[in-house]
Structure 1
Amino acid sequence: MSEIGILIPAAGKGSRMGKKMNKQFLDLLGKPVIYHTIKSFLDWQRDFELNIVLAAAEIDYFKQKILPLFSDYQQQFNIVAGGKSRKESVNNGLQNFSDKVKYVIIHDGARPMIKRELIEKSFQAVKKYDAVSCGVRVKDTIKVVENSFSKKTLARDSLRAIQTPQAFKLDLIKKAHHNYRKDKALDDATLVEELGEKVYIVEGDYNNFKITTPEDLKPAEIILKERFNV
């Protein structure tokens, strides 16, 4: 068994998409969004445990509609029921890895444009630093605003827009989840930071954005078409 675990949380409601269907299941180049996400990891390599975290009500749909698309891959899919929050869902997924897993890579189900090179870069970094996130440099000027008035302008050079994948030693991220008692966390790296541990930031990819609103689908299609020469 591999020392690598891949955890794809996809239990969110995606309310900003304004659709009846979960955004991970929306069509993108003829396949569901989450299909492209999962395929990126299977194209990277096959020697890992794969945990997919889904809303309990959508597990049957995933098994009937999504799993058959991977029938040629001979990959074991571990389907895990999510919780009431992203933190709870990710924690459920973490608890379902075997004792063989030493490192876990966590990646949003709604980020289907992830490149294999970024997965590999994150994995190599976590073996050295134990906790890794990726992020891109902020292009716009960022201001702190209070009551509609600008209060402070932040130094752009030190700012990063954080993405997934985020990669961790499994025992470290489990401890971070166990110790973090607040109702809501921004991301898994935040939980590790709350332990007083450092998180190494690797350079992300501007095309690795999250499908959040209907307007995101068109640029996502363009990116994937260029990548696959469709």
Structure 2
Amino acid sequence: MDALSSSPLYAVIVAGGSGSRMQSSLPKQFLPLQGKPVLMHTLQAFASLPQSVELVLVLPEVQMAYWQQLCRQHRFTLPHQLVAGGNSRFQSVKRGLEKVPDKALVAIHDGVRPLIEGDIILRAYQLAAEKGTAVVAVPLKDSIRRLQADGSSQSSPREEYRLVQTPQTFRAEAIRSAYAREEQPHFTDCASVAEAAGLHIHLTEGSYRNLKITTPEDLLLAEALLQNGSLHYRN
């Protein structure tokens, strides 16, 4: 990890979702997972690394008071900066990046991916230190087909594609410069913003356990993985 020693490590955790697809009135980042909110598991994953990581949590302003209430309720005392998000993920990430110094390496991560493993986070920081970018991804398991204009479909080689996850990790100065441009509809993640700014996107191996909690089934699977002892975080 020598390449990391000269750069402070930051993580911008973005959590702006609602509970619509979870069939819940409670935003998904606050749903209980083994007795505490999903988001707390996510923050703990980064706080459990052997290297010190400065945490920046971006939440919708209307959710900030509730989060602080949850922290008191669960005696959650991990240090983190709390930042009010914008009207889109792009704007929220941009606001989070304002808290990150130029010389840092910054991992940008979905708040509802609580099962991210420490070795994956560290590999991403290492690759970003060496190459400037590191995007976590996994191979496709299923066959895929490309839809045609006439309604038919055509087989595509799944070996040529990857499913993108987070964290997506960058040299802070470069990714903040990328976010200085105007938001575009095709900016679906940080990698697409970085690519539009001319950065080359390097992939690093992720994990199928690094699921994004979006539906009730996802939450059940996360519960099962944690109960099975697949992951352990420091409280």
Picking from 18, 43, 46, the partner of 1:41 is: 46
What secondary structure, in the 3-state scheme, does the structure 2 residue paired with 1:50 have? strand
Q: Which residue of 1 aligns with 2:75?
A: 69
Kindly state the Cα deviation for residue 61 of structure 1 after the two structures are TM-superposed: 1.1
Matched, 1:26 2:31: yes
Picking from 122, 125, 130, the partner of 1:120 is: 122
Q: Which residue of 2 aligns with 1:91?
A: 94
After the TM superposition, which residues 1-230 of structure 1 pair with which residues of structure 2 at under 5 Å, given as runs?
3-45=8-50, 47-66=52-71, 69-71=75-77, 75-98=78-101, 101-146=103-148, 149-183=151-185, 185-226=187-228, 227=230
Query: Using the alignment, how far apart are the partners of 2:100 and 2:224 within structure 1?
Result: 35
CA 1:65–1:46: 2 relative to 1, 3 Å:
farther
Kindly state the Cα deviation for residue 77 of structure 1 after the two structures are TM-superposed: 1.2
Kindly state the Cα deviation for residue 63 of structure 1 after the two structures are TM-superposed: 1.1
Query: Using the alignment, how far apart are the partners of 1:90 and 1:191 within structure 2?
Result: 11
Kindly state the Cα deviation for residue 50 of structure 1 after the two structures are TM-superposed: 1.0
Kindly state the Cα deviation for residue 4 of structure 1 after the two structures are TM-superposed: 1.1
Query: Using the alignment, how far apart are the partners of 1:141 and 1:177 within structure 2?
Result: 34
Query: Using the alignment, how far apart are the partners of 1:123 and 1:136 within structure 2?
Result: 17
Letter of the 1:157 partner, please give it: E
Query: Using the alignment, how far apart are the partners of 1:13 and 1:219 within structure 2?
Result: 19
Kindly state the Cα deviation for residue 176 of structure 1 after the two structures are TM-superposed: 1.1
C-alpha contact 1:180 1:194 (8 A) present in aligned 2: no
Kindly state the Cα deviation for residue 195 of structure 1 after the two structures are TM-superposed: 1.7
When the two structures are aligned, how many residues end up with a matched partner? 225
Kindly state the Cα deviation for residue 76 of structure 1 after the two structures are TM-superposed: 2.7
Deviations 1:134-163 (A, max 9, x none): 110001111112468333222111110000
CA 1:183–1:228: 2 relative to 1, 3 Å:
closer
Deviates more, 1:172-181 or 1:134-143: 172-181
Query: Using the alignment, how far apart are the partners of 1:183 and 1:156 within structure 2?
Result: 25
Query: Using the alignment, how far apart are the partners of 2:19 and 2:145 within structure 1?
Result: 27
Query: Using the alignment, how far apart are the partners of 1:207 and 1:228 within structure 2?
Result: 10
CA 1:58–1:197: 2 relative to 1, 3 Å:
same
Deviations 1:30-66 (A, max 9, x none): 1111111111111114622210000101111111212
RMSD over equivalenced CA pairs, Å: 2.0
What secondary structure, in the 3-state scheme, does the structure 2 residue paired with 1:20 have? coil
